[in-house]
Amino acid sequence: MNKMNGLSRPENLDLDLLRTFVRIAEMGSFTRAGEMVGRTQSAVSMQMRRLETMTGKPLLLRGKGGVVRLTADGQHILSYAQEILELNDSILAAFRGQTPRPRIVLDQDPLPAKAQREAFTAQIMVTLLTNDKFCEANALIMRHVENKTVVEPQNINERDDDLIMSLLSMLEYISINFLSNAMDRTIILRQRQSGLLRTYEVLQNYIAHKREAWGRPNAYRSFEEVIKSHILTGSALQNFATNATDPIPDFPARMAAMDMRAP
């Protein structure tokens, strides 16, 4: 809040900052967004630093090759920014006799934002499926699935413990990007839904043990959130129960019990 003569007045967001932010979200690039708003890349970067200072939150993540992704806070503010700009443009268009620019819904925009999410997702999936350590960890999980057993942390050796922690770290990374909409959710759910559910099913006791041992109740929380909010829904759970071969018994009941124990 700004103060003048002892009175407080609300601080206003700069529409130019919001417009540049929305273009970055649409284009996935500072350079291409700058071309659309008529600014250099350095000027665009400076604008985003100002916007992040005003909001007090990191809004963007810059990855390899200059690809820009939204943080969870950036995803949250995007819809507000689009509505504010849409209202601003509609007011001006109404008085000028013009047609306002339609809002771009990112998931329906074939290029470049959706293509970048698809490419990022494919890259992660290839790593998960071809890396020797992840493949060995997955084989370990599948043996438990076939035997209808769960991983008991007290009974595993150091090597298996290392394999499982590596796999869970990768799944947590995937889940964070999944929840922030940086990855293509359709690809994940189509290709890995059953595998993710089976992995979580087998590792419930292991995850609970690590949380207690580390004193970190939120360890692997994003992975758990993907399972509970995006996979373990009514239809998905029914399909899993119908299609899975030899599922571990009483999994829904154990999930309910785990929810009651969760901090």
170-184 confidence digits (pLDDT tens)? 888 888 888 887 777
pLDDT in tens, 190-215: 777 888 888 998 999 999 999 999 88
Q: Give the model's pLDDT for residue 93.
A: 79
Highest mean pLDDT among 73-87, 123-137, 149-163: 149-163
DSSP 228: I
CA-to-CA separations, 217 to 41, 91, 232, 263, in angstroms, rounded: 41, 49, 21, 7
pLDDT in tens, 77-127: 888 888 888 888 888 877 777 665 555 555 544 445 677 777 777 777 777
pLDDT at 260 over 50: no
Length of the chain: 263
Q: Residue 8's beta-bridge partner residues?
A: 3
Mean per-residue pLDDT, 144-167 = 89
Prediction pTM value? 0.50
Residue of 117, 138, 90 lying closest to 188 (CA atoms): 117
Contact (CB, 8 A) for 223 and 168: yes
What region, left, alpha or beta, does residue 86 occupy, with left being phi > 0 and alpha being psi -120 to 50 degrees?
Answer: alpha
pLDDT at 39 over 80: yes
Write b or e for each residue in 173-186: b if 16 or more Cβ atoms lie within 10 A of its Cβ, otherwise e. Answer: ebbbbbbbbbbbee
* Structure tokens that stand for 243 in this block: 């299609």
Q: Which residue has the higher pLDDT, 55 or 31?
A: 55
pLDDT in tens, 46-63: 999 999 999 999 999 887
pLDDT at 129 over 90: no
Q: 9 pLDDT band (50/70/90 cuts)?
A: low
